[in-house]
A and B are shown apart, each in its own frame.
Chain A
Amino acid sequence: MESTLLSLAHGFSVALAPANVWYAFLGCLVGTLVGVLPGIGPLAGISILLPVTFGLNATQAIIMLAGIYYGSQYGGSTTSILMRIPGEASSVMTCIDGYAMAKKGRAGAALCIAAVGSWIGGTFGVLVLTVVAPPLATIALRFGPPEYTALLVLGLIFLAYMSSSSLIRTLLMACLGLLLGMIGIDNMTGHFRYSFDLAELGDGIGIVPVAVGLFGLGEILSTPSASAVKDIISPRMRDLLPTRTEWKQASMPIARGTLLGFIIGIIPGSAHIISSFLSYAVERRVSKHPEEFGKGAVAGVAGPETANNAASTGAFVPLLALGIPTSPITAVLIGALMIHGVSVGPTLVNDHPDVFWGFVASMYVGNLMLLVLNLPLVGLFVTVLRIPYAYLYPLIIMFCIIGVYEVNNSIVDVWIMLIMGVVGYALRKFDFDPAPLVLGLVIAPILEQSLRQSLIMSNGNYLIFFSRPISLALMIFSIGLLVLAAYSFILKRADWRTKLAEVEAGETET
């Protein structure tokens, strides 16, 4: 514990260096804008802005990109509360009671509760991350190929089980991502796979063109400017502070949202989305006045907003300790660190202590910054929402092109982005969530290598995954989840996905 505190102190010395504070601020500001603007999620935001970090060192780059990630969770609440539009998918639940509070003249209080809840959730997440990640990394050093294979299989199954679309749809997206991830030279045999004599495909398909295409361009193609909404409730600054009763109503949902969000964040999948939905469901269930939900219940804002920020931080635990991305966003962050010559995994904490501890400490700073930034500047963010979408999306397309081209100076990557934009558009038409595709793409090389190494180690015996304690535990967990999923699937029981779809459908209708 003492060494952790010493390392954290070192991290603060890194994070509080003026340049790093500046990049944390920049990340938080851009992240809030990304969260505020409908149509640009954190994934597209981080991918598009990746080239901006090329001139920075690895610590500054990860500080800024992570700031965009958790900043977007804060920003997403603004449009949900003031416009009833989730700027970001995890803010869907906040729309319901946040907008109802705004209509009752309590927009400022709703924004304040969302910001304070987000800060508490985010800061708690960083505290646990500080304590948990280093020992977890030590355990992960004992991982061999079978353990990594079992962990990745568990990750894929968990993703399918917890994803916001149906099980089969998620698995199909993951398969598509895995297949895309196998394009290029096979590392173990040197065979060219599916590269169609294009030298640029030798290294495979990059995550940035795929993510930007699916989430940036794909969203623009599905959003004609005529459908952009302009009805915004402007909060009055004097109403920004909640009343004592509102604070009281928010306190327990914030506490529950913090715990729930962090735990779900560690689990693979679109954790920040799932956590906000589950938190809303929990709050409604434990409330003495469930009839108030949908009509401006404080708990309906406090719980989900806290949970999605705690989940965003929780997602960094497997990223930093194991080098395993649990979401497409953390996958892009891994890609960003790799571009800067830092390989993420259990050795990160020892090999690059400046990056690891500087990043952890910067999250304390960043969460505080966001609290200060979001409340007084809410008027500015509302002004941004008044920019006509017709002028906004051409800019986003330009940044998509720059963002993708600058990573490898490859025009083939930009064509891939364009194709992925069309794919993303088509997937939306058929109700597929593209996030598992990106995750499949990222883990494909790791999964393939560890699976093949495991089989070579065991001379082709599959029982290797059941003969080592860690991989056995992970495989049992995977099988358990498959059984649970099959149970719901066969009996066609309404699980949380169905309920979320019902809520979203209700949101669209109103």
Chain B
Amino acid sequence: MTLRADHVAGAFFVGFGLLVLALSTDLPTGSLSLPGSGFLPKIVAFLTIFFGAVLALRAGESRPFAAVSWDDVKHAAMVIGITAAAVALFEKLGFLTTNILLIFALLVAIERRRLLPAAAFSIGVVAVTYVLFVYVLKTPLQTGPLGF
């Protein structure tokens, strides 16, 4: 049997529904006349399992899992990695420093742009955005250890 995209997706949703049910064991279901906090989550988890199973059972209509294109996964992983690093640093370094580093890293590491134009672009757009938010729109942005 060919493994199809909907087999994988359906199995994921069945697993996810089961996980929600497992996490809901301490939530009271209550009764019909007085539903508890676990009442609707459990119903929706069962529906997720049901629909996931239907998706997997009708997977014959979907394309083979091997045909799902993952050409862009390297790009996606690098963007996620660099953005995650920026998020981790955001409250420590503040808006200006973090975003200059974020844009510079994306341009140099992923887009292979030359260092000087990348640096000029990063500093320029982040500075303009800072002025726009802080002075024009009066929306304060996260400050770093140096006060900006």
Q: Which residues of A contact B (CB under 8 A)?
A: 51-52, 54-55, 168-169, 171-172, 175-176, 178-179, 182, 186, 188-189, 191, 193-194, 217, 220-225, 227, 390-391, 393-395, 397-399, 401-402, 405-406, 409, 411, 414-415, 418, 421-422, 425, 429-432, 447-448, 451-452, 455-456, 459-462
Contact = CB atoms under 8 A, between A and B. Distances in A.
Contacts of B55: 168-169, 172
Contacts of B116: none
30 contacts: A52-B139, A55-B138, A169-B55, A171-B51, A172-B55, A182-B44, A193-B41, A194-B23, A221-B72, A223-B72, A224-B75, A391-B107, A394-B102, A394-B106, A397-B106, A398-B103, A398-B129, A401-B90, A402-B133, A409-B142, A418-B87, A421-B83, A429-B5, A429-B68, A430-B6, A452-B40, A455-B32, A455-B34, A455-B35, A456-B35
Nearest to B90: A411
A456 B106 contact: no
Given A397-B79, A405-B90, A175 B47 contact: yes
Contacts of A171: 47, 51
Give 5 closest A-B pairs by Cβ, nearest first. Answer: A460-B32, A460-B33, A186-B37, A221-B76, A191-B37
Contacts of A431: 5, 62
A268 to B, nearest CB: 18
Contact of B27 (A193, A217, A460): A193
Contact of B126 (A179, A186, A398): A398
A452 B35 contact: yes
Contacts of B54: 168
Interface string B38-80: 1111001101100110110010001000001111100110011
A461 B72 CA distance: 52
B106 to A, nearest CB: 4
Interface in B89-108: 90-91, 95, 99, 102-103, 106-107
Contacts of B36: 189, 191
A407 B31 CA distance: 37
Contacts of A175: 44, 47-48, 51
B67 to A, nearest CB: 11
A425 to B, nearest CB: 6
B107 A390 contact: yes
Contacts of A402: 95, 129, 133, 141
Nearest to B99: A398
Nearest to B142: A405
B3 interface: no
B33 A401 contact: no
A107 to B, nearest CB: 31
Contact of A390 (B86, B111, B133): B111
B102 A398 contact: yes
B86 A401 contact: yes
A179 B79 contact: no
B72 A188 contact: no
A422 B54 CA distance: 25
A452 B41 contact: no
Interface string B102-142: 11001100110100000001100110010001000111011
A452 B39 contact: yes
B33 A459 contact: yes
Given A168-B55, A172-B48, A222 B90 contact: no
A415 B129 contact: no
Nearest to B55: A168
B18 interface: no
B39 A430 contact: no
Contacts of B79: 220-221, 397
A430 B52 CA distance: 13
Contacts of B122: 394
Contacts of A189: 28, 36-37
A193 B20 CA distance: 11
A480 to B, nearest CB: 20
A221 B41 contact: no
Contacts of B37: 186, 188-189, 191, 193
A430 B7 CA distance: 10
Nearest to B53: A168
A425 B71 CA distance: 13
Given A186-B37, A405-B142, 5 more contacts: A54-B139, A222-B72, A390-B107, A391-B107, A430-B6
Contact of B20 (A179, A452, A456): A179
Contacts of B133: 52, 402
Nearest to B17: A175
B52 A172 contact: yes
Contacts of B9: 430, 432
Contacts of B84: 418
A55 B133 CA distance: 10
B20 to A, nearest CB: 6
A175 B14 CA distance: 12
Contact of B83 (A169, A176, A397): A397
Contacts of B138: 55
A394 B107 contact: yes
A399 B141 CA distance: 12
Contacts of A188: 37
A429 B70 CA distance: 8
Contacts of B87: 401, 411, 414-415, 418
Contacts of A221: 72, 75-76, 79-80
A186 B30 CA distance: 13
A178 B33 contact: no
A430 B90 contact: no
Contacts of B52: 172
A176 B48 contact: yes
Given A398-B103, A401-B99, A430-B68, A425 B44 contact: no
